[in-house]
Chain A
Amino acid sequence: MWGSSTPILNSTVNANITGWSRQLADRITNGGILSTLTRSYSSEPPDKYDPPAPFRKPGARRYGWVNKLYGGGVLPRSDKPIRSLPAYKPKDSWNRKRALFGQNDYIDILGDGDIHPVELITGPKWLIGFKGNELQRLVRRAKIQGSQMRYLYPTKYHQMWKRIRFLNKKYNMKRSKRVR
């Protein structure tokens, strides 16, 4: 309102007011006293940002804020591939391995009785048909492969025996140590 005049006032001033009031009204409209008092620096016309009250005035908001979100268009360094998560590939539930999983597990019951499912397991020789904690597994490995390992893989052999000694003390000579 300061530094500007309402259109209603303008129209009424020109129509009805005379004399001294008229001079005052002219000064207001031409930006005389009140414009110097308000000190508006904008170059736009005074009624450009003059909305009907009581609504919000339009105009520049958050002035000086730079939008850092990607709004489309060519990116800098477009030759470089954009890194992202790999595309989702659902697992094939019916590939050969998964479709026939569990086959022959009951071969000692439904077969001739000469094969046991343990014989179908593949893996390290000292673990087939055996389950134990770490110490038991290492001792079994030493029994089965120890003589070979001593000359073929001496470092591994040495580390295995260090571990056996350590675990033996841990499991058998200490209080409240969990065996795993």
Chain B
Amino acid sequence: MLSKKLHSCRFDANDICRISSALTKILNVTAKRQVHDSSFDTSHELLQTDSGPVVPSRPLPLIIQKMDYPSRFAPPKQAWIESLGTIEDEKLGTIDLHPEIFGTYPRIDILHRNIVWQRNYKRISHAKTKSRAEVQGGGRKPWPQKGLGRARHGSIRSPIWVGGGRALGPRGPKSYFYMLPRHMRVLGLRTALSCKFAQNDLHIVDSLEIPSDDPAFIEELLDTRFWGFSALFVDDTDIMPRNISLALSKVPQFNLMPVYGLNVYSMLKHETLVLTLAALEKIQQKILHQMHKTSLDRSFKNERVRY
């Protein structure tokens, strides 16, 4: 069934060999099982032509089925490996995704808590009003207590006076800082990735190399493939290829991010999420590490005061 679907893809056999050998090198570094690369499979039918070289009759898909820590309870999810080289979609193969990261239950409440945390933990409000003690003046009693027939007052800066201090106004720079438990933030990332995958907004590409640095190419690509109005491209390092950096700098809705910058708010703000294979590998590794590690977190200690 897979081969029938890929039958219409047009790419060179040399390209596939190049891509798959590069990928094999990357993925074999951390893999426990050998990467299955079907380009070295000799069971394909080859057309023997009189004039030219040997050409495979059907394209060679990339099937990546390795999993460092496979789940014992659910089969892996599968996603296409696509390419950004041409405007039309070119599917290079499939890859297995960890079901606990890309197939968790869609916990909308967890997403909400993560987004609220992201909005508030950095917030410092500088609103401040002067109290009656801080407003200039107002030390003397304006007129004697009795005898004048006027209301009794002790100071011209009391809150009932015009120009007086504010009784219960905002007081000083105030912070709204708090930290969500680490497992809740990890679950937020997993839920966001699962929701993106389930709604067909997650796309995995081999790399972020594009042929031209014209933003029109990327805009047309997203238009043709119906990827949406906004897209977030995630690579594993913060040094991006030249063409895509130049193209996306002109369009504010398409943004580039390294893996360490990924977050729930950005995933939900952008309609589509595009991950490279290397970024996907890194994300899965980091999240699985957080899910299964037993050591305590001692990197941040609240109430730390440096004199």
Contacts and interface: CB of A to CB of B under 8 A. Distances in A.
Contacts of A121: 121-122, 124, 177
Between A94, A107, A129, the greatest number of chain B beta carbons within 10 A of the residue's beta carbon is seen for A129
Given A101-B269, A166-B133, A107 B260 contact: yes
Contacts of A134: 171-172
Contacts of B253: 94, 99
B269 to A, nearest CB: 7
A174 to B, nearest CB: 15
Interface in A105-121: 105-114, 116-118, 120-121
A159 B134 contact: yes
B255 A129 contact: no
A108 B263 CA distance: 11
B178 interface: yes
Contact of A110 (B286, B299, B307): B286
B290 to A, nearest CB: 6
Contact of A163 (B121, B133, B173, B177): B133
* Range class of the B interface residue count: 35 or more
B189 A105 contact: no
Given A106-B185, A109-B185, A129 B124 contact: no
A94 B124 CA distance: 23
Contacts of B299: 108, 113-114, 116
B118 A102 contact: yes
Contact of B287 (A109, A113, A129, A162): A109
Contact of B264 (A102, A107, A163): A102
21 contacts: A94-B230, A100-B255, A102-B269, A103-B263, A104-B260, A104-B261, A106-B189, A107-B260, A108-B299, A109-B182, A109-B286, A109-B287, A110-B260, A111-B259, A118-B177, A118-B179, A123-B173, A128-B175, A131-B177, A144-B307, A159-B133
Interface of B: 118, 121-122, 124, 131, 133-134, 171-179, 182, 185-186, 189, 230, 252-253, 255, 257, 259-266, 269, 282-283, 286-287, 290, 299-300, 302-307
Interface of A: 94-96, 99-114, 116-118, 120-121, 123-124, 127-131, 134, 137-138, 140, 143-144, 159, 162-163, 166
